[in-house]
Structure 1
């Protein structure tokens, strides 16, 4: 750490600047033991931006990352770095020749090596003294220069994560690949470590592809988000685009908790237990699914559109999670309300839905 003589506050050394690159997946396919795991994904991580690969377990996120790193080979398609092919039908560059950095989920630090030697490990092309200086600078950038001679086992999970980040950035990769880098951290540490990591990525100007199954994490980190399901790309865009205009009900449910109701379009409207919904963009008689975000339901003692009865209340601190009985559906309707909004012991209430939190999708879409 360096000190600012004007105020005595320690500041981290600025990251060495890299030349950010674009990384493109072009119609990528991959199979494992005869089962197709990636099904024709085309996607580009833009220079200097963070692209988050988001999706449930088994959606193909980590496989796509391993293909980019050169640890796995695709069965069809190409991978390009700045429009230069690094993997394709007739070419497969090994990981060390791709100019990408990889940060594993478990950090993969060598327990028998000091922190400094762990960071220096990827700098074998440099003379020892120069590699050591680069490793020291990388540790200083993540605020761990004072741990250089320590061994990984004495560090906390958050500190190990920062060592792994320093090691990945030390060779100044054009693209940094990160596989669920915060999944092993205490939930109380995640926010600060994630913010530190994002700041370091911005300073280094490296492009980054981050794998996560957490939609909020993707929205916090990603300049763009690619949502995957069953080896396919469902939707790609900014956090705002995916939240406000999800392509299907899977995407809607991934970015917010929803109540779901089946229905038919009749005269441009869809009848639901929460009232009629606009269906003008669908054909008359078409089967649809209506999604209503939990946060878009207003619950009050009176004055709402639909009568309901509270079945359960779960206090979650700032909010309460409610389950409510509503005529027209056997499943409880769920809502999130401010914790001090409803009087204790209240049973009979009314519901109203915010129109911008109601989404309608083709049933099989």
Structure 2
């Protein structure tokens, strides 16, 4: 199988197939200076899938990657590769024995080595001849077969990222770990490099775990997403599951901008600035928070149940964000609309709420 070609001169070759493995974390605990970084983390990356570790800085994502790679041992729990323990109370395989590749955030390329020698660096168990052949193969897979004698400083950020990927894939690892691999790229390059990387991972059939703090990026590339907060797994699922069925307000806010209203449940509903919202499953008197996505508020100069006034408009290209004041309410409301949907200069509008973009949570969930 070969990557789709834009033209006959595309230098990419087919990607060598790895023996994808299932990587499992069981009840992982870890701390630095008595401060817990990972707290009873259990998580599985299935063979051949792309799993994203998502969360804010300090949530434990990179630490979990380091533990999987064998860079540091966990303080409790086990790591298993295809149900074989590779790190636990009585076993600790060194990194070079794990068949796990790692791509660092800064790519970690050696500036004094050519791309060929950078890529060949980890192929220590092969003869020089076989190592060179495998390194050339890996560089060709990522479209850099014509730059083997170049040095890292001669490349763009996107090309350096591809060299790091080639080096990690050259030994045909069962699992590939990537720590925020696209964070150093400018916005124009990100989409293209992400797409190229995902195509290479799919063709190599490598199990991949990718760390990111960007929810949109995770949704673009992951088969499943594991959301972490304060060293614990909050929710695991597909992008659709985490977006449409968030378990708490933290998850909802991570995947979309929301307006938040506080209230008390009475007769199965709660009063908000945007009207009465159903709150099924909550007891009378329960304190709740209602989250309404910005995209779920319809804005029109003619249609809608709620009168409002435009306070501010922010142009974002294909969309605009409006700040809206509602008569009798102290709290303003934000809404996202398609650019051009509302004529310039319009102040008085009417609002409607799409129920599929309304989420209700118990107050302690924040």
Matched, 1:167 2:167: yes
Tell me the secondary structure at the aligned position of residue 324 of structure 2: strand
Q: Which residue number corresponds to residue 108 of structure 1?
A: 108
Trace 1:1-365 onto structure 2 (pairs within 5 A).
8-10=8-10, 12-327=12-327, 329-365=329-365
Q: Deviations over 1:197-250 (max 9, x none)?
A: 000000100000000000011011100000000001000000111111000010
Tell me the secondary structure at the aligned position of residue 150 of structure 1: coil
Q: Deviations over 1:243-281 (max 9, x none)?
A: 110000100000111111111110011111001111122
Q: Deviations over 1:303-324 (max 9, x none)?
A: 2121111110011111111111
Q: Post-superposition shift, 1:8?
A: 3.5
Q: Report the Cα distance in structure 2 between the residues aligned to 1:328 and 1:36, rounded to whole angstroms.
A: 46
Tell me the secondary structure at the aligned position of residue 266 of structure 1: coil
Indicate conservation of the 8 Å contact 1:270/1:276, yes or no. yes
Q: Report the Cα distance in structure 2 between the residues aligned to 1:324 and 1:65, rounded to whole angstroms.
A: 43
Indicate conservation of the 8 Å contact 2:47/2:207, yes or no. yes
Give the TM-score taking structure 2 as reference length.
0.97
Indicate conservation of the 8 Å contact 1:3/1:9, yes or no. no
Aligned pair count? Answer: 363
Q: Report the Cα distance in structure 2 between the residues aligned to 1:91 and 1:146, rounded to whole angstroms.
A: 43
Tell me the secondary structure at the aligned position of residue 21 of structure 2: coil
Tell me the secondary structure at the aligned position of residue 91 of structure 1: coil
Deviation larger for 340-349 or 245-254: 340-349
Tell me the secondary structure at the aligned position of residue 203 of structure 1: helix
Give the TM-score taking structure 1 as reference length.
0.97
Indicate conservation of the 8 Å contact 2:3/2:199, yes or no. no
Q: Report the Cα distance in structure 2 between the residues aligned to 1:10 and 1:144, rounded to whole angstroms.
A: 10
Q: Deviations over 1:309-354 (max 9, x none)?
A: 1110011111111111124643321111011111211111111110
* RMSD across aligned positions (CA): 1.6
Which 5+ residue runs of structure 1 have no aligned equivalent? none
Q: Report the Cα distance in structure 1 between the residues aligned to 2:183 and 2:27, rounded to whole angstroms.
A: 29
Tell me the secondary structure at the aligned position of residue 92 of structure 1: coil
Q: Report the Cα distance in structure 1 between the residues aligned to 2:27 and 2:261, rounded to whole angstroms.
A: 35
Q: Report the Cα distance in structure 2 between the residues aligned to 1:322 and 1:216, rounded to whole angstroms.
A: 22
Q: Report the Cα distance in structure 2 between the residues aligned to 1:328 and 1:148, rounded to whole angstroms.
A: 68
Q: Report the Cα distance in structure 1 between the residues aligned to 2:354 and 2:178, rounded to whole angstroms.
A: 38
Deviation larger for 322-331 or 105-114: 322-331
Indicate conservation of the 8 Å contact 2:290/2:360, yes or no. yes
